[in-house]
Amino acid sequence: MDDEQIKQQMIDLLMEKITGSLSEKVVDYGSHPRNYGSLDKPDGYAKITGPCGDTMEIFLRVKYDKIVDITYTTDGCMTSHAAGSAATVMAKGKPVRECIGINQSAVLEHLGGMPEDSQHCALLAANTFHKALRDYAIGKKR
């Protein structure tokens, strides 16, 4: 075995150790985030810093009470990205009323679960999303 093969084996073992307790979907969404970024002049916006110190922002664009675009940003880890990605994937294209059901449990179910010490990421994503929905609803009433 040459040095490159040994190096690759070490990387593979490390990745297995890091992602071993995570579902395939968490690893996929966390490594390849969906809907990451910001929107100019969103119809709804929220920013929350969770108890772990991760901050998440969610931006909504709504047309005819349907979420036509949604993005997120976070300074958090892979599981924060996975949760933000999941919330946006679940909401995109759906009527605002249906999105009320996107909560921590729904995000965790969509992702195939998360280790207990990472489940707060799903709560952060859900809370930020609901705050953005409230921001949209308040703006709509003006």
| pLDDT at site 24 | 87
Strands (E), the chain: 44-49, 55-63, 66-74
Provide the 8-state DSSP code for 36. Answer: B
| pLDDT at site 18 | 60
Q: Which residues of the chain have pLDDT under 50?
A: none
Q: How far, in Å, CA of 139 to CA of 142, rounded? A: 5
Contact residues for 62 (Cβ-Cβ < 8 A; gap 6+): 43, 44, 68, 96, 136
Conformational region of residue 23, where left means phi above 0, alpha means psi within -120 to 50, and beta covers everything else: beta
What are the structural domains, with CATH classification, of the chain? 3-141 (3.90.1010.10)
| pLDDT at site 10 | 75
